[in-house]
Amino acid sequence: MAEGLRERKKRQTRQYISDVATGLFLERGFEAVTVAEIAEAANVSVNTVYNYFPAKEDLFFDRSAGMTDRLARWVRGRDAGESAARAVLRELRAEVEAVSPRVGLLEGYDRFMRVIHEAPPLRSRLWSLQQEIHDTLATALREETGAADGDPLPGLMAGQICWIHQAVFVTIGQQMLAGRKPVEVSREVLVLLDDIEDLLSEKVLGYAVRRAG
């Protein structure tokens, strides 16, 4: 369905406020910037900022919505004969090999990570996002396997698969903070993914295999 004028203007306003806020956070740090300053810089009212972003942390993690269900989407879209864990490994390898900004492989990502490290509220929100990723994946695994509500296995498997995802992102963040080039980090993380796969048990690698047809 075509986007209406009103919806487009709202989306553009939201994006503009987010971009202005991100620039201020990167320049001065998260806790040094107030919502009032963001509103003034974006030429909108404080109420307008809060209408789009209920909390200040939402301004920084504006693109997190696509992150929270990413593993679940990868699992739901896995190929016939492919398990949940192997689907995530395949998708991560593709992102890393492509030196994709979606996994933090871009110049300037170190500045983004530094803002998080220096702000306890952002670290807390990041932990919450990781929990949301896990819970969304566990729900997807439960639905994909038809597991009973009280069965702990989907949650346990979600923990293992989330560990894969987190290990990749933590390594990329650390290496980018150290001043490494995205292409260099990409090569090393591809090796890391091989090591991660070697560490996973056959039970994890063989869980939730999609049947053909």
Structure tokens that stand for 181 in this block: 């080039």
Which residues are CB-neighbours of 14 under 8 A, at least 6 positions away?
A: 52, 62
Whether 49 contacts 38, CB under 8 Å: yes
Spatial separation of the C-alpha atoms in residues 194 and 113, rounded to whole Å: 25
Q: What is the pLDDT of residue 43?
A: 96
* Predicted pLDDT at 103: 93
- The predicted-structure confidence for 104-128, as pLDDT tens digits, reads as follows 999 989 999 999 999 999 999 999 9
- The string of pLDDT tens digits covering residues 14-52 is 999 999 999 999 999 999 999 999 999 999 999 999 999
Q: Which residue has the tokens 């200040």?
A: 56
Interatomic CA distance for residues 208 and 84, integer angstroms: 6
* Spatial contact of 177 and 108, defined as CB atoms under 8 Å apart: no
Of the candidates 30, 186, 170, the residue with the CA atom closest to the CA atom of residue 107: 186
For the stretch 141-195, pLDDT in tens is 999 999 999 999 999 999 999 999 999 999 999 999 999 999 999 999 999 999 9
**Residue 1, pLDDT above cutoff 60:** no
pTM > 0.85: yes or no: yes
User: Quick one: average pLDDT of 207-213?
Assistant: 88
Cβ neighbours for 140, distance < 8 A, ≥ 6 positions apart: 71, 72, 75, 76
- With a cut of 90, say whether residue 196 has pLDDT above it: yes
pLDDT single digits (tens) 57-106: 999 998 776 789 999 999 999 999 999 999 999 999 999 999 999 999 99
Confidence bin at 6 (pLDDT 50/70/90): confident
pLDDT at 17: 96
Supply angle C-alpha 60, 125, 170, rounded to 5: 90
125-129: Cβ within 8 A, 24+ apart: 125/57, 125/60, 125/61, 126/61, 129/61, 129/64, 129/67, 129/68
The token pair at 201 is 């048990």
Give the C-alpha distances (Å, rounded to integers) separating 104 from 18, 23, 109, 116. 18, 17, 6, 14
pLDDT value of residue 2: 62
| Whole-number Å distance between alpha carbons of 85 and 88 | 5
DSSP at 206: T
Tokens found for residue 161? 């698969």
How are the residues of the chain apportioned to helix, strand and coil, as percentages rounded to the nearest 5?
70, 0, 30
pLDDT higher than 80, residue 3: no
| Amino acid occupying residue 74 | W
What is the model's pLDDT at position 212? 79
